[in-house]
Each structure stands twice: as C-alpha cells, then as structure tokens.
Amino acid sequence: MTGAPTRAGESPTRDTTTTHAPAVDARPLLELRKVTKTIGDGVLTTLVADIDLVIRSGEFVAVTGPSGSGKSSLLYLLGLLDIPTSGEVLVEDRSVNTLNEAARAQIRLATIGFVFQFHFLLPEFSALANVMLPMRALGRLRDQAMRERATALLVSLGLEDHAHKLPGQMSGGQRQRVAIARALANEPQVILADEPTGNLDTHSSEQVLSIFRRLVDDTGRAIVMVTHDLDLANRADRHVRIVDGRLA
C-alpha cells in the first residue's frame, strides 16, 4: 500500500547508520525564513531567533540541542502549531503567515504528521479508531477505505493483534507505533517528531527509528526529529543543532 512502511521487525532496506544527503533538487516542503518567536507580555523571552531552515522531501533531519534551546518551538513553528513573531513560514513554497486558524489546520491535517514524546492517543478509542481519526477529519476516503488503510498501517508497524485494543491496554512502544501510524494516516509529506523515543526503551527506540528510516527511503517523505540522543541524531541525513534559539 502506498505510504505504508514495511513491517516492523523486518530487515531494513538499507544501513540506517549511513548518513545520506537528499538530492539538492528535491522540492522544499517546509521553509522558515528569518523566523523569530518571542513570548511574554512584559518580559519577552525569545524561543527561536532568525532561523532559516529548509526541509526537503526525502530528507531525515535531526534537531538537537540543550534543554530549552528552542528545539520543540522550532518544530511547532514548522508544524504550523505556532505563529512566528517575525519571519515567514512556507509550506510547499506558499507562505502560511496570513492564513487563518482553519486554513492552517487543514494544511496540518493533509500535509503534516505529528509524533510526540507522549503518544497522545485518545484513551477511549481503540488503536484502529485512533489511526482513523485524521482520515475521518480529512474526509477524503470512504469508511471502508479508511478502515483498510488504518489496518494496513497497523499491520506494517507490527500491531495487527492490537488494532482493537485501547491505548491503556498496550505497552509504551506499541502506543508510540500507533501514534506513528496515526501520523501517517493521511499520507503527509512530512513527519514532525518531538522526542519520539524519549519515553521508550532501547528496543522500542530502535524500532521507531527504523520505521522513520524506511519512511524516508521508501516513500520519500521528510522527517524532522527533535532528539536529545546524539547517536540517534547521527543516523539522520542531516543534523541541525540549535543553541539558545539560534542555529549553531
């Protein structure tokens, strides 16, 4: 099925430790131009300052930096969850600064997938229902097609036996894989992952990383992953370091 990675646990198709540079002519998916984000009413705190960053298709980018350096803020700006104080955010070469909340939500739904450190699955819904949520919100597929696609995603992530379980009945690694399946539901161009392995054991972390690797290599999606783990970061195609809100 298009967009679904190969089964978790199967041998990856390439050596994931090898860094790999995307073709320079790969199209830019997300772009930040001189983006600054400050918060606070009286005393202003700068979260990110003067950031220029382009994320292209087929690129696996790791963002690292010390705690409070602005890694997550950068991710939220890229994912249109936050609005920059100054500078411009472009999605597929189109500025989104002036778009309203509903339009940005629509772009997020169709183009961007999020994976967080906490799985953030809806606890009352089964794994299958959670994966179907973005598809149902987008409303491009019929019920049966959505169900088939969600099932295929869960199978590809080794969760075929857990489709009807509630998040509370699954392990942390399984929940994070369900969250990844949900992020992939609408076949987004780019996955933004904020410390996706932060709460996982080594085995589960490896699984998540290999899934990301396959997504980039097999489907040409872009992945931006915020992490503290330099070993994981070094296995990405590009390593972006941020210190005190600026690219180092």
Partner 1 sequence: MKLILDIAFTHVFTRVRQTLVGMIGVAMGVGFSVMMASLMEGSQRDFVAQLVDSLPHITVSDERRNPPRQPAQDVYAAVEFKGLRTPVTRPGIKNPYAIMASLEAWLSGAAAPSVASRAVIRYAGRDTAASVTGIDPRRERSVSKLPTQIRQGTLEALYKSSNAIILGDKLASKIGARVGNTITLVSGTGQVLSCTVVALLHSGLSQADETQAYTLIKTAQILAGQTGLVNAIRIRTTDIMAARVVAQRIEAQTGYKAVSWQEANEDLLSAFQIRNFIMYTVVGAIVLVASFGTYNIISTITHEKTRDIAILKSLGFTEATVRMIFLIESLLIGLAGTIAGWILGYVLCRMLGSVEFKSPFMDATTLPLYYTPVHYLLAGAVAMTASAIAGYLPARKAASVHPVEIIRGAS
The residue type found at 230 is: L
**At a CB cut-off of 8 Å and minimum separation 6, what does 148 contact?**
none
Least distance from partner 1 to the Cβ atom of residue 4, Å: 19
Minimum CB–partner distance for residue 107 and partner 1 (Å): 8
Cβ distance to partner 1 smaller for residue 60 or 116: 116
Where is 230: in which H helix or E strand? helix 230-234
What angle do the packed helices 127-138 and 101-111 form, to 10 degrees?
130
The answer to whether residue 81 forms part of the interface with partner 1 (CB under 8 A) is: yes
- Where in 193-232 is the site for partner 1 (CB under 8 A)? 194-195, 198
190 sits near partner 1 (criterion: CB under 8 A): no
- Shortest spacing between CB 124 and partner 1, in angstroms: 5
102-to-31, 81, 105, 107, 122 alpha-carbon distances in Å: 20, 12, 5, 9, 22
Q: Closest approach of Cβ 245 to partner 1, in Å?
A: 15
CB of 229 to partner 1, least distance (A): 15
**Separation between Cα atoms, residue 133 and residue 140, nearest integer Å:** 12
Across 1-19, b (16+ Cβ under 10 Å) vs e yields eebbbbebeeeeeeebeee
Residues 6+ apart with CB under 8 A from 33: 52, 87, 88, 89, 90
Q: Quote the least distance from Cβ 117 to partner 1, whole Å.
A: 5
Site for partner 1 in 53-72 (CB under 8 A): 72
26 contacts partner 1 (rule: CB under 8 A): no
Give the three-state DSSP class for 67. coil
Contact with partner 1 (CB under 8 A): which of 32, 69, 91, 108? 108
Q: Is 105 in the site for partner 1 (CB under 8 A)?
A: yes
44 binds partner 1 (CB under 8 A): no
Closest separation between CB of residue 101 and partner 1, Å?
Answer: 6
* 86-91 sheet: strands from edge to edge: 45-56, 28-39, 86-91, 94-95
∠ CA(3), CA(5), CA(8), 5° rounding?
160
| Binder of partner 1 out of 15, 25, 41, 101 (CB under 8 A) | 101
- Footprint of partner 1 on residues 118-137 (CB under 8 A)? 118, 120-125, 133-134, 136-137
Q: Which residues bind partner 1 (CB under 8 A)?
A: 72, 76, 79, 81-82, 101-102, 105-110, 114, 116-118, 120-125, 133-134, 136-138, 182, 194-195, 198
